Structure formats: C-alpha cells, structure tokens
C-alpha cells in the first residue's frame, strides 16, 4: 500500500521564553530568504548564472543565525529553490518576491531528524526549546510517522503547529456510482443542488460587516504603534478569525454530509478569480469560499472511493432548458427565473444544477 501525507493542525501555548525563540526563528527565516533571494538576483545580473547559495554560508557573517533551528533555515533554501522552479515552469505565477515583515505569513518549518521532535500527551518537543504545551483535539493513529512541523502565528496572536505525518493510504477503492448530485455555484447561499435545495450558507462576513467596520474605524483613530492600537488591531484580527472559523466549520459539515450521501457530485469547473475580478463580485465570492469548499468535498469523496465530476466551464448550463433541451441565445444575469417555450418555469440556478447533473452523468458513462 502506497504512503501518503496527512496533516493535523493543533493549538500550542508557548510561554514567554518559547515565544521569543519562535519569533526569533520566524524572523531569521524571513531575513535569510530575502538575503538569499537578493544575492541570487545580484549574481545573475553580474554573471548570468544562478548562484547556488546555502544557509551555512551566511552564519559567519551573521552569527545570530546559529541561535535558531538549522533545519528551519535549510527549509528556507528549499522553499526559495521551489519558488524559482515554479517560476521557470509556470511564468504566470510570477518571479519570487521578498517576504514582508508586516504582511507575509508568520511561520517556519522544521523536520524530524534523530528524534529532535517529540509528540507527547500534552506537550510538543521542538528543537532549541523546552516542550511546548499543546491542545491535542484528536488521537494520532498508530503507525503514523511524524515528518515535519510548521509553527505559525495568526494575526490574532494565537500560535499553531501543523504536524505532517507519513501514513498508509486508507482511501477506499473506486466503486460504481449510483447516486448522483448536480451542484451549481450561487452568489447567495454558496451553491444550489439539482434536488432544488440550497446550501443555506449564512454569509458570515456579510452579517458581521457592520460590526467589523465599526472596529476598523476605531483602529484608524488609534495612534500607530501605541498600546491601544495593538489592542484594537488584535480585536479586529479576532473578528476576522471568527468569520474564517465559522466558514470552515460550515463547509466541513456540508462537504462531509454530501460525501456520505452521494456516490458522485457533479460541479462546474469555474474560474472563480475571473468572476470575482471581471464581474466585481469579489467580496461575495470570498465570503462564500466556494473554491475551498470544492477542495474539501474533493478529498472527502476520494477517501470514500467516490467521484467529484467537473463539467467544462464553457458548458451552457444556465441557458439550456433542463426539460426539453432548448438553448437560449441570450440570458441576462438579472433573469433569476428560467422560462422556456415548453412551459418549464423554474429557478435559474436549479435549472443549471440539473443540467450539470445530466452532463456529469454523461461524462461518467463516457469515462467508465
């Protein structure tokens, strides 16, 4: 049986000394990444060759780099090389850019080598520090081998550790699909099903928008860098974190329910970035988190040996009548009820979901 990677994210509660060490490691990792990137750019401009620099070459010039975990610095090199490989393979992703002290993700990754990381009942032993108190919300199955740990700090000031395990693939074998469901993206409620039901997403960001705007105004009136500014900044970050957690909780529950009830779910392969930018629906689409929901649904279906069938984005699901198959030449976005010459009258999104279901079944039969 082939091996796969599984990650478990847990909350950690470091003391003052441990926080200092974590922040120092995050800072050193960011500094080294920027310095190595700058040297690569300069060397290429002068020699027209790529510089092969390593973290060890900087420790003599910057001795304080020795105070942090060397494996965290080694991962900086791997991340930078990976960024360059991705750029040369897919130029559209953009040239590697410098990590900002204010806006970049606050994290570092260290690897398991000779037992330097140890997971106990209520503690996590990390290199260069005493065991850190943790909250382990689920038991780690036997046979899972710890590979690496990514320590991160959220804008709200909370610390987390993402534990990456090497384990056997428990994915069920693919089976014959009998129960199908069509699903269409919707601005309100996240998605609509071919059964006529809606997901009923509560629009957490929209509901909290007024309260959040009030807290943002309070923050803008505070003097930058003051104690009140830091307190208010943390308060705003906590509001955003709550919205993010509510969204993830709803999506996990819904995706689990669909993965349990259906053998195959048919969806449209939408360009959500294009819709958000081109049609000025950015806020609504980001609040829905539809892309994140599809990725959750995809891996949950795969684990159960089921299917996520993606229909081509250019398939005219909204314009085709789901009863007679007649295709309209034009259909304005403001028309929310689909009316057909055959007498069919139904919600536009439900009609699209039924068409996606039919097309998904056709794709499944063709590939089976």
Give the active site residues.
184, 268, 349
Number of H helices, E strands in the chain: 8, 13
Query: In the structure encoding, which two tokens stand for residue 211, read together?
Result: 């309260």
Under 8 Å CB-to-CB from 56, ≥6 apart: which residues? none
Query: In the structure encoding, which two tokens stand for residue 318, read together?
Result: 């909204």
Q: What is the C-alpha to C-alpha distance for residues 183 and 295, in angstroms, rounded to an integer?
A: 14
- Gap between the terminal Cα atoms of the chain: 24
Whether the CB-CB separation of 115 and 137 falls below 8 Å is answered with no
Other beta carbons within 10 Å of 4: 12
Q: Which residue, 307, 314, 347, 96, is CA-closest to 198? A: 347
Q: What is the C-alpha to C-alpha distance for residues 42 and 96, in angstroms, rounded to an integer?
A: 14
């Amino acid at each position: 049986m082939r091996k796969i990677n599984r990650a478990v994210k847990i909350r950690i509660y470091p003391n003052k000394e441990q926080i200092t060490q974590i922040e120092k490691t995050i800072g050193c990792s960011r500094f080294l990444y920027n310095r190595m990137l700058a040297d690569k750019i300069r060397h290429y401009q002068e020699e027209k060759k790529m510089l092969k620099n390593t973290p060890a070459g900087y420790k003599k010039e910057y001795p304080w780099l020795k105070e942090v975990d060397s494996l965290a610095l080694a991962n900086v090199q791997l991340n930078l090389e990976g960024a360059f490989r991705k750029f040369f393979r897919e130029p559209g992703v953009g040239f590697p850019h410098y990590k900002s002290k204010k806006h970049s993700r606050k994290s570092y990754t260290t690897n398991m080598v000779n037992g330097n990381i140890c997971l106990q009942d209520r503690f996590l032993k990390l290199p260069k520090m005493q065991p850190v108190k943790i909250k382990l919300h689920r038991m780690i199955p036997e046979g899972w081998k710890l590979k690496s740990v990514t320590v991160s700090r959220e804008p709200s000031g909370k610390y987390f550790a993402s534990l990456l395990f090497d384990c056997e693939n428990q994915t069920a074998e693919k089976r014959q699909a009998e129960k199908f469901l069509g699903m269409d993206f919707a601005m309100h409620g996240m998605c609509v099903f071919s059964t006529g039901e809606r997901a009923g997403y509560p629009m957490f960001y929209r509901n909290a928008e007024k309260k959040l705007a009030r807290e943002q105004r309070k923050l803008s009136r505070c003097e930058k860098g003051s104690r009140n500014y830091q307190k208010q900044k943390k308060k705003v970050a906590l509001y955003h974190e709550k919205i993010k957690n509510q969204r993830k909780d709803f999506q996990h529950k819904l995706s689990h329910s669909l993965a349990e009830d259906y053998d195959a779910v048919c969806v449209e392969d939408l360009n959500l970035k294009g819709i958000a930018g081109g049609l000025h629906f950015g806020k609504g689409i980001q609040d829905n988190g539809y892309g994140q929901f599809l990725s959750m649904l995809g891996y949950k279906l795969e684990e159960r040996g089921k299917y996520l069938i993606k229909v081509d984005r250019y398939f005219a699901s909204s314009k085709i009548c789901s009863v007679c198959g007649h295709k309209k030449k034009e259909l304005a976005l403001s028309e929310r009820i689909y009316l057909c010459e055959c007498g069919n009258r139904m919600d536009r999104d439900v009609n699209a979901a039924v068409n996606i279901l039919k097309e998904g079944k056709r794709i499944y039969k063709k590939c089976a």
